[in-house]
Amino acid sequence: MSTTWSDLDTAEAKRIWREYQETHDLSQHHGRTAGIDPASGRIWLGDSAVEAVREMRTDGIDRPLFFVRVGYSHYLRKGGRR
């Protein structure tokens, strides 16, 4: 298993996520976390990144994931409120 993450991994995970959103109704998952594996194309949903990773490991897989927050263009924003 490779633990090195590349820009290609990010691009592939984003592509997988776009396609997934087109074919799945995610309205009941707004605000939850999706963990995307760019190597297999699998997606795990959880209330947090920790939970998504727990779900992945329950399936016997342990690899880096790309995380997105369902319904948002970002997972987490850094910085103070304005």
Q: What's the pTM?
A: 0.85
CA–CA distance, 33 with 52 (Å, rounded to integer): 7
Kindly state the helix (H) or strand (E) to which residue 49 belongs, with its residue range. helix 49-58
Q: What's the whole-number mean pLDDT along residues 36-54?
A: 97
Query: Domain boundaries in the chain?
Result: 7-69
The radius of gyration computed from the CA coordinates of the chain, to the nearest angstrom, equals: 13
Report the alpha-carbon angle 80-7-20, nearest 5: 85
Report the chain's mean pLDDT, rounded to a whole number.
Answer: 91
